[in-house]
Amino acid sequence: MDLSGGSIMEFYQKGGPIMHALLICSLIGLVFIFERAWALYRSKIDTQEFLDRVRTALTKRHNVKEAIAACEEYEGPIANIMKAGLLKYGRPQDEIERTIETASAHELARLERGLGVLATISNIAPLLGFLGTVSGMINSFDALARAGLSNPGLVAQGISEALITTATGLGVAIPILSSYNYFTTRVGKYVLEMETAANVLLETYAEMETPGDSGA
């Protein structure tokens, strides 16, 4: 079927009511894809440079306020959990660890926001497409029962139109699923960086408490 020009609307209309649901799914998916892409882009920082600044402020100058100020210059989960740990400087280690764990859980929830919606749409869209196809096949065989075998072209046309929803459902699901997998990979990378940052902070505190250790 030619999908160029005005035939796109014809293609859409032939798919039946299920096409409305698939259109809504695609629009919601696009909104969340762009929102997550922007949010994860803003969270990206030079982690090693940031950690070096914090370590230098703590080990070379023993200046916690300077380290906190460095955290406030950056946006993102790594800087946020470091700041949470720095604000607890001087407290027992188990309290600092609990604070970092709580901050990490909060940041992880922010990073994963909307991913459940993308996963749901990527699963639902093909099922909606299949539902539309089954409904169309039922109508086609109903038409065959009424017209008999004298008009096979009518049945073939009905089957062709019924498959439109399956193709559309897959067309909606594939890019959304690809985006979901990409975002989960990015989130996993941020989780590893948050764990690294937390370990660096705790190790730096230990160095500061060691007599005669000037740090590295």
The number of residues making up the chain comes to 216
The span from the CA of 70 to the CA of 49, in Å, is 11
Q: For residue range 3-62, what is the model confidence (pLDDT) as tens digits?
A: 544 477 877 787 788 899 999 999 999 999 999 999 999 888 888 999 999 988 988 878
Kindly report the CA angle at 91 between 86 and 93, in degrees rounded to 5?
90
Domain count, the chain: 1
Q: Which residue has the higher pLDDT, 211 or 103?
A: 103
Residue 3 lies in a domain: no
Q: What is the 3-state secondary structure (H, E, C) of the chain?
A: CCCCCCHHHHHHHHCCCHHHHHHHHHHHHHHHHHHHHHHHHHHCCCHHHHHHHHHHHHHHCCCHHHHHHHHHHCCCHHHHHHHHHHCCCCCCHHHHHHHHHHHHHHHHHHHHCCHHHHHHHHHHHHHHHHHHHHHHHHHHHHHHHHHHHHCHHHHHHHHHHHHHHHHHHHHHHHHHHHHHHHHHHHHHHHHHHHHHHHHHHHHHHHHHHCCCCCCC
Residues 29-57 as b or e (16 or more Cβ within 10 Å = b): beebbeebeeebeebebebeebbebbbbb
| pLDDT value, residue 1 | 47
Query: Does the pLDDT value for residue 99 go beyond 90?
Result: yes
Supply the range of the domain harboring residue 123. 19-208
pLDDT, mean over the chain: 86
Compute the CA torsion angle 35, 36, 38, 43 (nearest 10 deg): 140
| pLDDT value, residue 209 | 74
Residue 182 lies in a domain: yes
Residue 87 lies in a domain: yes
Query: Does the pLDDT value for residue 194 go beyond 90?
Result: yes
| pLDDT value, residue 136 | 80
Residue 10 lies in a domain: no
Residue 39 lies in a domain: yes
Residue 175 lies in a domain: yes
Residue 31 lies in a domain: yes
| pLDDT value, residue 5 | 45
Residue 183 lies in a domain: yes
Q: For residue range 60-72, what is the model confidence (pLDDT) as tens digits?
A: 878 889 999 989 8
